[in-house]
Amino acid sequence: QITLKESGPTLVKPTQTLTLTCTFSGFSLSTNGVGVGWIRQPPGKALEWLALIYWDDHKRYSPSLKSRLTITKDTSKNQVVLTLTNMEPVDKATYYCAHRGGHDAFDIWGQGTMVTVSS
């Protein structure tokens, strides 16, 4: 059974860097074809894809946020970490991590973690 869970601060100040951790179980991020992605959703708004890291350490980023995003993995800890620099109030959202299986879709999602940006 695959599960994922996001963790990190619920409140960050403007200009700070957000660091979120996705801890997962039920699969290995060293298995061919597997990936973990991050998607966010501002309150009442649509989903927005942020980043994806593959089993072979290839990384992909949203073109609009690429300069602010970094995604890394720790295979031994079953964790994926996302950092987003220079946080602004518009970055307030629920942040989800999700398993990307062999079918190029996000088939299992974490419960999400809400992040607010305020001084």
Partner 1 sequence: QSALTQPASVSGSPGQSITISCTGTSSDVGSYNLVSWYQQHPGKAPKLMIYEGRRRPSGVSNRFSGSKSGNTASLTISGLQAEDEADYYCCSYATSGSWVFGGGTKLTVL
Binding site for partner 1 (CB under 8 A): 37, 39, 46-49, 52, 58, 60-64, 96, 103-112
Residue closer to partner 1, measured from CB, 29 or 39: 39
Of the candidates 25, 29, 10, which has an alpha carbon nearest to the alpha carbon of residue 110?
25
Cβ of residue 11: shortest distance to partner 1, in angstroms? 20
In angstroms, the CA 34 to CA 32 distance is 6
Q: How far apart are CA 100 and CA 31, in angstroms?
A: 12
Task: Tell the smallest beta-carbon distance from residue 68 to partner 1 (Å).
Answer: 15
Q: How, if at all, do strands 59-61 and 48-54 pair?
A: antiparallel
Q: How far is the CB of 107 from partner 1 (least distance, A)?
A: 5
Min dist. Cβ of residue 13 to partner 1 (A) = 27
| Closest by Cα among 47, 24, 33, 52 to 108 | 24
Q: Which is nearer to partner 1, 55 or 106 (CB)?
A: 106
**Closer residue to partner 1 in complex, CB, 103/119:** 103
